Amino acid sequence: MEPSNRDCLNDWLLGSEPAATTLVSRFEHRLLGFASRQIGTSARIDPQDVVGSTWGSFFDGVRRNQIQAPESDDLWPILVTILARKIHAQRQRDLSQRRDIRRETGNSFDIPMNPAPEISSEIAWLQTRLTSLSEREWETIQLLLEGHTQGEIAQQLDISERTIYRLLQRLREEHSQHHPLQRVAYSDLVLEEFLGQGTFAKVFRALLSPRAQPVAVKYLQRRFWSNQLAVRQILQEAQIASRLQHPHLVQHRGWGTTPNGGIFLVMDWVEGHPLSHFPKGDVSFICRVGLQLAEALHTMHTAGIVHGDISPANVIVQETGECVLVDFGFARFFNESAHMGLVCGTRPYMAPEQLATGVTNPSTDIYTLGSVLFHVFTGEIYQGRSDPNFPKVLQDCLSENATQRPCNAMEVAEALRGHFSSTTNFR
C-alpha cells in the first residue's frame, strides 16, 4: 500500500529524501501540463523552471509549518495555487531571461526560496474555502485545474455551463475580497519613531511617499514570520479593516512586505492622546466618547466583525474631541475561533465569558465598552460595584449576564445621545 501524501511529508520532515521524490513523481506531470497550458508560447517563461520553483516554495513552506496537508490528503489545490501565482508574478515582472532556479533531478532537494507571504495567504484562503464546497463543486474545480473546458466539464458532470460560470463568478468575487487593500512598497516608507509593541507586532510612526504623509506602520515581529497562524491573522486584520468605513475607526492604507519577507500594515496616523490621558469624573466626556465608540462598534457588528480588544490605549482622542478606535489586531468575524488558541483582549476590561472561554461576540464588545468607560470615569477597574453618577446604559453594559446587557451597540448609542443631548459641547 502506497503511503499517503501526508505520510510522505512527515517522512521528508524526518529526513527521508525518497519521500520527497515520491511526492514529486505524483504531481510533476500534472504540474508541467498545467504550466504549459497557462504559459502557452511565451518564450520568457520555462514551464520546468516555474514548476521547479513551485516545488521549492512548497517544501520550504512545509518545513516552516506554513503549509500543511489538508484532511482530504489532496495536495493538488495547494501546488496549483503556488504555481499559478508564480506564473502570474513572472508575467508581471516580464523577465528578459529565465530565472536561474535548478530543477531537482537526483535524490536530494535544494530548497531555493521561501514562499511569499501572499502565497501563504492564498493557500490559507484556499484551504478554508474548499472545505465549504459541495462535492459537485469540488469535482468541478478539480476538472478545471486539470485543464478541462467548461463544456467538457458540463458534459462529464451532467450540469449546465451556466452552473459552472456561476460557481467561478462566486469564487472570483470572494477572492477579490480576500486582499482588497492596495499593496504599499516598503521603499515608500520612512520610519520616524518606534511607538511600542504588543504580543505579535511592533508599531512605528512613519512618512509615506510621495506626499510624506504621516502614517502608523504595524510590523509582524520577526519570530512570527514562519508562523502560519500569525501571518493569517495580520492579513485578516487587513481584510477586516478594508471592509470598515467610519469616522471613529482608523482607516487602513494598505499592506506590504519588507525586503526580508516580513508583513506590515499601513494605517492613518491619528494625532491625539489615549483615553487614559483624560481626567476622571466628566460625565459629558464619557457620554460623548461612549456615543462615538458605540456607533463605531455598531458599524463593525453590522459588518459581521467583533473588535475583541477595546482598551484605553486603543482609543485616541483628538483635539476636536473626536475619538478613533485604532487597533483591529484581535478583531475577527462572527463565530470564528480564538486567535492561535489564545484568550485575546485586555484582561481588566474583558467580559466574564471572554475570560472564561476566549469567546468574543457583540455582547462581549458591549461589556468591554462599559468596562473601559467605567475605568476612565472612576479611575478604578470595574469589580462589580457601580457608581451612582455613571450613566445607567453604560452600567447595564457591565451586567455579568450577557442577556441583560443592551441588545446591540446602537441601543447604547441612542441612550447616550438622549442622556445628555442638551449638555454643552455634547454633539
pLDDT confidence of residue 99 = 33
Nearest 5°: the CA angle 318, 323, 326 is: 100
Cβ-based neighbours of 99, under 8 Å, separated by 6 or more: 49, 50, 53, 90
Beta strands in 68-188 (DSSP E): none
User: What is the greatest pairwise CA distance in the chain?
Assistant: 81
Does residue 147 lie within any of the structural domains? Answer: yes
Same domain, 263 and 277: no
Question: Residue type at 229?
Answer: L
**SS3 assignment, position 113:** coil
The sign of the torsion formed by the CA atoms of 335, 340, 346, 351 equals positive
Between the alpha carbon of residue 68 and those of residues 31, 223, 402, the distances in Å are 19, 19, 38
* pTM for the whole structure: 0.61
Rg of the chain in Å (alpha carbons) = 26
Question: Could you tell me if 216 and 291 are in contact, meaning their C-beta atoms sit under 8 angstroms apart?
Answer: no
* Residue at which a domain ends, from 161, 178, 195: 178
Q: Contact, 22 vs 33, CB < 8 A?
A: no
Residue 116 pLDDT: 45
Return d(Cα 419, Cα 396) in angstroms, integer.
14
State which residues form the domain around 38.
5-116
Last residue of a domain, one of 268, 296, 331: 268
Q: Are residues 257 and 281 in the same domain?
A: no
Instruction: State the 10-residue block means of pLDDT for the chain, 427 residues long.
Output: 87 87 89 79 74 87 76 82 76 46 34 41 53 72 72 88 83 61 87 88 93 94 82 81 88 88 92 92 94 95 90 94 91 63 77 87 96 96 93 96 95 88 49
CATH number at residue 157: 1.10.10
CATH number at residue 220: 3.30.200.20
CA angle 14, 18, 21 (to 5 degrees): 115
- Amino acid making up residue 205: R
What total of structural domains would you count in the chain? Answer: 4
Which residues lie below 8 Å from residue 80, measured CB to CB, with a gap of 6+? 31, 34, 145
191 plus 165 within the same structural domain: no
In a domain, 126, yes or no: no
Regarding whether 203 and 169 lie in a shared domain, the answer is no
Alpha-carbon gap, residue 175 to 247, rounded angstroms:
27
Domain of residue 83, CATH code: 1.10.1740
Element (H, E) at 126: helix 117-130
Q: Which amino acid is at 244?
A: L
* Separation in Å, CA 116 to CA 58, 247, 385: 11, 34, 51
* Res 323: pLDDT: 96
Cα–Cα distance between 331 and 312 in angstroms, integer?
A: 16
What is the separation of C-alpha 288 from the centre of its chain, rounded to a whole number of angstroms?
31
Please indicate, yes or no, if residue 426 is contained in any of the structural domains: no
Phi/psi at 159 (5° precision): -130, 170
The confidence score (pLDDT) of residue 175 equals 58
The DSSP H or E segment spanning 23 is: helix 17-39
Q: Is residue 424 part of a domain?
A: no
One domain for residues 190 and 260:
yes
